[in-house]
Amino acid sequence: MVKIVVPNWIEDETLARLSAHGDVVTSEGRDPLADDELRAACADASALMAFMTEGVDRPFLDACPKLKIIAGALKGFDNLDQRACTDARVLLTYVPNLLTEPTAELAIGLSIALARNMRAGDAHLRSGTFAGWRPNFYGGSLQGATVGIIGGGAVGRETMRLLSGFRGRRIYFDENRLDPTTEKALDAQYAPLDDLTRLSDFIILALPLTDQTKHIVNVSFLAAMKQGAYLVNPARGSLVDEAAVVEALNTGRLAGYAADTFEMEDWHRPDRPRQVHPALLACDQTVLTPHIGSAVSEVRRQIAAEAADEIIAFLSGKRPRHAVNPEVLET
Protein backbone atom coordinates (compact mmCIF):
# COMPACT_ATOMS: atom_id res chain seq x y z
CA MET A 1 0.00 0.00 0.00
CA VAL A 2 1.00 3.62 -0.45
CA LYS A 3 2.18 5.64 2.51
CA ILE A 4 0.28 8.69 3.77
CA VAL A 5 1.84 11.09 6.29
CA VAL A 6 -0.33 13.16 8.63
CA PRO A 7 2.12 15.09 10.86
CA ASN A 8 -0.48 16.58 13.21
CA TRP A 9 -3.32 15.19 15.27
CA ILE A 10 -6.64 14.78 13.45
CA GLU A 11 -9.86 13.00 14.37
CA ASP A 12 -9.94 9.18 14.45
CA GLU A 13 -12.74 9.01 11.90
CA THR A 14 -10.64 10.87 9.31
CA LEU A 15 -7.57 8.74 10.05
CA ALA A 16 -9.71 5.63 9.57
CA ARG A 17 -10.87 6.84 6.16
CA LEU A 18 -7.29 7.50 5.08
CA SER A 19 -6.16 4.14 6.42
CA ALA A 20 -8.46 2.43 3.94
CA HIS A 21 -6.29 3.86 1.16
CA GLY A 22 -2.78 3.52 2.56
CA ASP A 23 -0.50 3.08 5.53
CA VAL A 24 -0.85 6.22 7.67
CA VAL A 25 1.99 7.67 9.72
CA THR A 26 0.91 10.36 12.17
CA SER A 27 1.91 12.21 15.30
CA GLU A 28 1.13 10.40 18.51
CA GLY A 29 0.14 13.55 20.41
CA ARG A 30 -0.89 17.14 19.82
CA ASP A 31 2.61 18.25 18.83
CA PRO A 32 3.57 17.87 15.16
CA LEU A 33 6.25 15.53 13.89
CA ALA A 34 9.66 17.12 14.30
CA ASP A 35 11.43 18.20 11.10
CA ASP A 36 13.71 15.16 11.01
CA GLU A 37 10.81 12.83 11.75
CA LEU A 38 8.75 14.44 8.99
CA ARG A 39 11.51 14.07 6.40
CA ALA A 40 12.12 10.47 7.38
CA ALA A 41 8.40 9.67 7.20
CA CYS A 42 7.96 11.40 3.83
CA ALA A 43 11.09 9.91 2.21
CA ASP A 44 9.03 7.05 0.77
CA ALA A 45 5.53 8.51 1.13
CA SER A 46 3.07 9.22 -1.67
CA ALA A 47 0.86 11.70 0.16
CA LEU A 48 1.26 14.36 2.85
CA MET A 49 -1.43 16.27 4.70
CA ALA A 50 0.23 19.59 5.56
CA PHE A 51 -0.61 22.15 8.21
CA MET A 52 0.88 25.51 9.26
CA THR A 53 3.64 23.64 11.09
CA GLU A 54 5.18 22.15 7.95
CA GLY A 55 7.49 23.93 5.56
CA VAL A 56 7.79 22.46 2.08
CA ASP A 57 10.55 23.72 -0.21
CA ARG A 58 12.80 22.32 -2.93
CA PRO A 59 15.24 20.55 -0.59
CA PHE A 60 12.31 18.90 1.18
CA LEU A 61 10.82 17.71 -2.10
CA ASP A 62 14.22 16.48 -3.32
CA ALA A 63 14.39 14.32 -0.20
CA CYS A 64 10.89 12.93 -0.84
CA PRO A 65 11.00 11.66 -4.45
CA LYS A 66 7.87 9.49 -4.19
CA LEU A 67 5.63 12.29 -2.97
CA LYS A 68 2.77 12.91 -5.40
CA ILE A 69 0.25 15.04 -3.48
CA ILE A 70 0.41 17.54 -0.62
CA ALA A 71 -3.06 18.28 0.70
CA GLY A 72 -3.00 21.45 2.76
CA ALA A 73 -5.35 21.42 5.73
CA LEU A 74 -5.30 25.20 5.51
CA LYS A 75 -6.37 28.15 3.42
CA GLY A 76 -3.19 30.22 3.27
CA PHE A 77 -0.41 28.01 1.92
CA ASP A 78 2.52 30.42 1.97
CA ASN A 79 4.54 27.80 3.90
CA LEU A 80 4.23 25.43 0.93
CA ASP A 81 6.32 26.39 -2.10
CA GLN A 82 3.86 26.21 -4.99
CA ARG A 83 6.49 26.60 -7.71
CA ALA A 84 8.72 23.95 -6.19
CA CYS A 85 5.76 21.58 -5.97
CA THR A 86 4.88 22.20 -9.60
CA ASP A 87 8.46 21.69 -10.76
CA ALA A 88 8.59 18.43 -8.82
CA ARG A 89 5.23 17.37 -10.32
CA VAL A 90 3.64 17.26 -6.86
CA LEU A 91 -0.02 18.26 -6.71
CA LEU A 92 -0.81 20.89 -4.08
CA THR A 93 -4.35 21.34 -2.75
CA TYR A 94 -5.90 23.56 -0.10
CA VAL A 95 -9.16 24.15 1.78
CA PRO A 96 -10.59 27.42 0.46
CA ASN A 97 -13.76 28.10 2.40
CA LEU A 98 -14.03 26.54 5.84
CA LEU A 99 -11.69 28.93 7.67
CA THR A 100 -13.44 32.10 6.51
CA GLU A 101 -16.23 32.51 9.06
CA PRO A 102 -14.32 31.55 12.23
CA THR A 103 -11.39 33.79 11.27
CA ALA A 104 -13.65 36.78 10.66
CA GLU A 105 -15.50 36.05 13.89
CA LEU A 106 -12.22 36.07 15.81
CA ALA A 107 -11.23 39.36 14.17
CA ILE A 108 -14.35 40.97 15.62
CA GLY A 109 -13.74 39.36 19.00
CA LEU A 110 -10.15 40.59 19.11
CA SER A 111 -11.27 44.09 18.19
CA ILE A 112 -13.78 44.18 21.03
CA ALA A 113 -11.41 42.61 23.55
CA LEU A 114 -8.71 45.12 22.65
CA ALA A 115 -10.84 48.26 22.73
CA ARG A 116 -12.75 47.27 25.88
CA ASN A 117 -9.58 46.44 27.87
CA MET A 118 -10.72 42.89 28.55
CA ARG A 119 -7.23 41.56 29.18
CA ALA A 120 -6.47 44.19 31.83
CA GLY A 121 -9.92 43.84 33.36
CA ASP A 122 -9.62 40.06 33.58
CA ALA A 123 -6.19 40.35 35.25
CA HIS A 124 -7.55 42.88 37.74
CA LEU A 125 -10.44 40.65 38.68
CA ARG A 126 -8.18 37.62 39.14
CA SER A 127 -5.73 39.63 41.26
CA GLY A 128 -8.15 39.53 44.19
CA THR A 129 -8.29 43.31 44.48
CA PHE A 130 -11.66 43.78 42.75
CA ALA A 131 -14.04 45.58 45.11
CA GLY A 132 -16.90 46.37 42.76
CA TRP A 133 -17.43 48.92 40.02
CA ARG A 134 -14.92 51.72 39.76
CA PRO A 135 -14.42 54.30 36.97
CA ASN A 136 -11.61 52.24 35.45
CA PHE A 137 -10.81 50.40 32.21
CA TYR A 138 -12.60 52.89 29.97
CA GLY A 139 -11.84 52.17 26.35
CA GLY A 140 -13.13 52.39 22.81
CA SER A 141 -15.95 50.73 20.88
CA LEU A 142 -16.80 49.41 17.45
CA GLN A 143 -20.09 51.29 17.71
CA GLY A 144 -19.82 54.47 15.69
CA ALA A 145 -16.24 53.69 14.66
CA THR A 146 -14.68 53.80 11.23
CA VAL A 147 -13.28 50.32 10.62
CA GLY A 148 -10.83 49.80 7.79
CA ILE A 149 -10.37 46.31 6.38
CA ILE A 150 -7.27 45.73 4.27
CA GLY A 151 -8.13 42.87 1.94
CA GLY A 152 -11.33 42.20 0.04
CA GLY A 153 -11.05 38.42 -0.17
CA ALA A 154 -13.33 35.94 1.56
CA VAL A 155 -12.18 36.77 5.10
CA GLY A 156 -12.25 40.49 4.44
CA ARG A 157 -15.76 40.33 3.02
CA GLU A 158 -17.03 38.18 5.88
CA THR A 159 -15.51 40.63 8.36
CA MET A 160 -17.36 43.47 6.63
CA ARG A 161 -20.58 41.48 6.80
CA LEU A 162 -20.22 40.83 10.52
CA LEU A 163 -19.42 44.48 11.14
CA SER A 164 -22.74 45.46 9.60
CA GLY A 165 -24.26 44.68 13.00
CA PHE A 166 -22.41 47.66 14.45
CA ARG A 167 -23.34 51.27 13.87
CA GLY A 168 -20.42 52.89 12.10
CA ARG A 169 -18.56 53.15 8.82
CA ARG A 170 -16.82 50.33 6.96
CA ILE A 171 -14.10 51.12 4.45
CA TYR A 172 -11.78 48.69 2.71
CA PHE A 173 -8.80 48.52 0.41
CA ASP A 174 -7.87 45.80 -2.05
CA GLU A 175 -5.80 45.82 -5.21
CA ASN A 176 -8.89 44.45 -6.95
CA ARG A 177 -11.86 46.58 -6.02
CA LEU A 178 -15.12 44.76 -5.32
CA ASP A 179 -17.99 45.23 -7.74
CA PRO A 180 -20.63 47.84 -6.85
CA THR A 181 -23.27 45.21 -6.05
CA THR A 182 -21.01 43.55 -3.47
CA GLU A 183 -20.01 46.88 -1.96
CA LYS A 184 -23.66 47.82 -1.57
CA ALA A 185 -24.58 44.45 -0.04
CA LEU A 186 -21.76 44.80 2.50
CA ASP A 187 -22.42 48.51 3.05
CA ALA A 188 -18.69 49.05 2.59
CA GLN A 189 -16.89 51.82 0.76
CA TYR A 190 -13.64 51.48 -1.16
CA ALA A 191 -10.82 53.77 -0.03
CA PRO A 192 -7.25 54.13 -1.24
CA LEU A 193 -4.82 52.65 1.27
CA ASP A 194 -3.48 56.04 2.35
CA ASP A 195 -6.99 57.27 3.11
CA LEU A 196 -7.97 54.09 4.94
CA THR A 197 -4.86 54.29 7.10
CA ARG A 198 -5.52 57.93 7.95
CA LEU A 199 -9.25 57.64 8.67
CA SER A 200 -9.71 54.33 10.48
CA ASP A 201 -10.29 53.94 14.21
CA PHE A 202 -9.68 50.21 13.78
CA ILE A 203 -7.64 48.53 11.05
CA ILE A 204 -8.18 44.81 10.47
CA LEU A 205 -5.76 42.92 8.24
CA ALA A 206 -7.28 40.32 5.90
CA LEU A 207 -4.47 39.71 3.42
CA PRO A 208 -2.46 36.70 2.29
CA LEU A 209 1.28 36.79 2.89
CA THR A 210 3.23 37.45 -0.29
CA ASP A 211 6.48 39.19 -1.16
CA GLN A 212 4.40 42.32 -1.75
CA THR A 213 2.46 42.19 1.54
CA LYS A 214 5.31 41.22 3.86
CA HIS A 215 5.65 44.01 6.45
CA ILE A 216 2.92 46.06 4.82
CA VAL A 217 2.51 47.35 8.37
CA ASN A 218 5.85 49.03 8.98
CA VAL A 219 7.18 52.24 10.52
CA SER A 220 5.76 54.49 7.79
CA PHE A 221 2.37 52.73 7.79
CA LEU A 222 2.05 53.11 11.55
CA ALA A 223 3.13 56.76 11.42
CA ALA A 224 0.33 57.43 8.94
CA MET A 225 -2.34 55.82 11.12
CA LYS A 226 -4.82 57.88 13.06
CA GLN A 227 -3.49 58.73 16.51
CA GLY A 228 -4.88 56.27 19.05
CA ALA A 229 -6.24 53.75 16.54
CA TYR A 230 -6.31 49.98 17.05
CA LEU A 231 -4.62 47.40 14.81
CA VAL A 232 -5.89 43.81 14.53
CA ASN A 233 -4.08 40.98 12.71
CA PRO A 234 -5.91 37.66 12.36
CA ALA A 235 -4.22 36.93 9.01
CA ARG A 236 -0.46 36.26 8.77
CA GLY A 237 2.22 37.31 11.23
CA SER A 238 4.71 38.72 8.74
CA LEU A 239 2.22 41.22 7.40
CA VAL A 240 3.36 43.17 10.44
CA ASP A 241 6.79 44.35 11.49
CA GLU A 242 6.37 43.49 15.16
CA ALA A 243 9.29 45.68 16.26
CA ALA A 244 7.65 48.68 14.59
CA VAL A 245 4.36 47.88 16.35
CA VAL A 246 6.15 47.78 19.70
CA GLU A 247 7.56 51.24 19.05
CA ALA A 248 4.13 52.59 18.01
CA LEU A 249 2.61 51.19 21.21
CA ASN A 250 5.37 52.70 23.32
CA THR A 251 4.88 56.17 21.79
CA GLY A 252 1.09 56.02 22.00
CA ARG A 253 0.62 56.18 18.23
CA LEU A 254 -1.27 52.88 18.56
CA ALA A 255 -3.88 52.50 21.28
CA GLY A 256 -3.57 48.74 21.05
CA TYR A 257 -2.56 45.74 18.96
CA ALA A 258 -4.35 42.39 18.76
CA ALA A 259 -2.96 39.41 16.88
CA ASP A 260 -3.68 35.75 16.31
CA THR A 261 -0.62 35.19 14.10
CA PHE A 262 3.04 36.07 14.54
CA GLU A 263 6.21 36.52 12.52
CA MET A 264 7.84 33.50 14.17
CA GLU A 265 5.24 31.22 12.56
CA ASP A 266 6.18 32.00 8.97
CA TRP A 267 8.45 29.00 8.48
CA HIS A 268 9.50 29.81 4.93
CA ARG A 269 11.26 33.00 6.07
CA PRO A 270 14.93 32.22 6.71
CA ASP A 271 15.13 35.39 8.81
CA ARG A 272 11.99 34.76 10.83
CA PRO A 273 12.15 35.45 14.57
CA ARG A 274 12.15 32.35 16.74
CA GLN A 275 9.75 33.78 19.29
CA VAL A 276 6.97 36.31 19.61
CA HIS A 277 8.48 39.74 20.24
CA PRO A 278 8.97 39.83 24.04
CA ALA A 279 7.79 43.44 24.27
CA LEU A 280 4.44 42.46 22.75
CA LEU A 281 4.00 39.87 25.49
CA ALA A 282 4.86 42.40 28.18
CA CYS A 283 2.70 45.23 26.83
CA ASP A 284 -0.63 45.93 28.52
CA GLN A 285 -2.08 47.27 25.26
CA THR A 286 -2.01 43.93 23.46
CA VAL A 287 -4.42 41.00 23.12
CA LEU A 288 -2.65 37.94 21.74
CA THR A 289 -4.09 34.53 20.91
CA PRO A 290 -2.19 31.38 19.82
CA HIS A 291 -3.34 31.09 16.19
CA ILE A 292 -6.88 29.97 17.00
CA GLY A 293 -8.61 31.61 14.05
CA SER A 294 -10.03 28.29 12.86
CA ALA A 295 -10.00 26.53 16.25
CA VAL A 296 -13.66 25.61 16.25
CA SER A 297 -13.99 21.87 16.82
CA GLU A 298 -16.44 21.18 14.02
CA VAL A 299 -14.60 23.45 11.61
CA ARG A 300 -11.26 21.74 12.28
CA ARG A 301 -12.92 18.35 11.79
CA GLN A 302 -14.28 19.47 8.44
CA ILE A 303 -10.92 20.94 7.37
CA ALA A 304 -9.07 17.69 8.03
CA ALA A 305 -11.86 15.73 6.37
CA GLU A 306 -11.72 17.90 3.26
CA ALA A 307 -7.94 17.57 3.03
CA ALA A 308 -8.35 13.81 3.39
CA ASP A 309 -10.95 13.85 0.61
CA GLU A 310 -8.35 15.41 -1.70
CA ILE A 311 -5.81 12.69 -0.90
CA ILE A 312 -8.36 9.92 -1.31
CA ALA A 313 -9.60 11.32 -4.62
CA PHE A 314 -6.06 11.57 -5.98
CA LEU A 315 -5.08 8.07 -4.87
CA SER A 316 -8.32 6.74 -6.41
CA GLY A 317 -7.51 8.25 -9.79
CA LYS A 318 -10.01 11.09 -9.45
CA ARG A 319 -9.44 14.82 -9.75
CA PRO A 320 -9.17 16.69 -6.42
CA ARG A 321 -11.52 19.66 -6.13
CA HIS A 322 -9.16 22.37 -4.95
CA ALA A 323 -5.85 22.03 -6.74
CA VAL A 324 -3.51 25.01 -6.52
CA ASN A 325 -1.40 23.78 -9.45
CA PRO A 326 -3.80 21.73 -11.61
CA GLU A 327 -1.30 21.78 -14.49
CA VAL A 328 0.45 18.92 -12.72
CA LEU A 329 -2.55 16.76 -13.58
CA GLU A 330 -2.38 17.58 -17.28
CA THR A 331 0.96 15.94 -18.03
Residue extents of the structural domains in the chain: 3-96+296-330, 100-288
Rounded distance, CA 242 to CA 257, Å? 10
pLDDT in tens, 153-197: 999 999 999 999 999 999 999 999 999 999 999 999 999 999 999
Strands 168-173, 286-288: pairing kind: unpaired
Superfamily of domain 3-96+296-330: NAD(P)-binding Rossmann-like Domain (3.40.50.720)
Task: Report the pLDDT value the prediction gives residue 98, as an integer from 0 to 100.
Answer: 87
pLDDT at residue 331 greater than cutoff 70: no
Q: Which CATH superfamily is domain 100-288 in?
A: NAD(P)-binding Rossmann-like Domain (3.40.50.720)
95 has pLDDT over 80? yes
Question: Does 100-288 match 3-96+296-330 at the fold level?
Answer: yes
> 306 — phi, psi (to 5°)?
-70, -40
Cα 267 to Cα 32: distance, rounded to the nearest angstrom? 14
**Dihedral sign from CA coordinates of 220, 226, 228, 234:** negative
What's the rounded Cα separation, in Å, for the pair 114 and 131? Answer: 23
What one-letter code names the amino acid at 234? P
- pTM for the predicted model, two decimal places: 0.89
What was the pLDDT predicted at 190? 98
What's the residue count for the chain?
331
Could you list the active site residues? 236, 265, 291
> Which pLDDT score, from 0 to 100, does residue 124 have?
95
The pLDDT of 206-232, averaged and rounded, is 96
